[in-house]
Amino acid sequence: MLRLLIAGSLLLFLASCLNPPNYSEIPEISFDSLNATFVKVGQDSITFFIGFTDGDGDLGSEEVPNLFFLDSRTGKIDSNKIPNITPEGTIKAVSGTIAFNQSSFTCSPPEGREFDTLFYTIYVEDRAGHKSNEVVTPQIILDCN
């Protein structure tokens, strides 16, 4: 009986390895976290953690921007690059977490104030031009002094 249980468990394990995940070819992201919501401009940085899935594994590029941060204050989009993460082999579906460090912040606080606030709307694009969903960060406070 124990051998049957072990054999059955082994077969279930092997079967789960053979079934690739069923992700969309359009990348999907989730906002996982950030390591700070208060930044002293010119001194501090923030690391953003963004979960992702991509069914055809064509996420990332060394040549073109593919990670975008829309600044809530200005509407300006900062373009960044995440490296190519296409897996080798026949199963191309990928998932994981992108850790992106941002250290360059501009301050434009209201007249007479030392602090500025913003949030980012973040999205990615794969090499086929598919745009992911958008995620929004919590509010970030910038100390402009």
Extents of the domains making up the chain: 22-143
CB atoms within 10 A of CB 67: 23
Q: What is the pLDDT of residue 1?
A: 46
Per DSSP, the three-state class of 78 is strand
Tens digits of residue pLDDT in 77-131: 999 999 988 777 788 899 999 999 999 998 988 888 899 999 999 999 999 999 9
Tens digits of residue pLDDT in 38-91: 999 999 999 999 999 999 999 999 899 999 999 999 999 999 999 988 777 788
φ/ψ region of 89 (left if φ > 0, alpha if ψ in -120 to 50, else beta) reads left
pTM of this prediction?
A: 0.83
State the architecture of 22-143 in CATH terms.
Sandwich (2.60)
Q: Which residues pair with 100 in a beta bridge?
A: 48
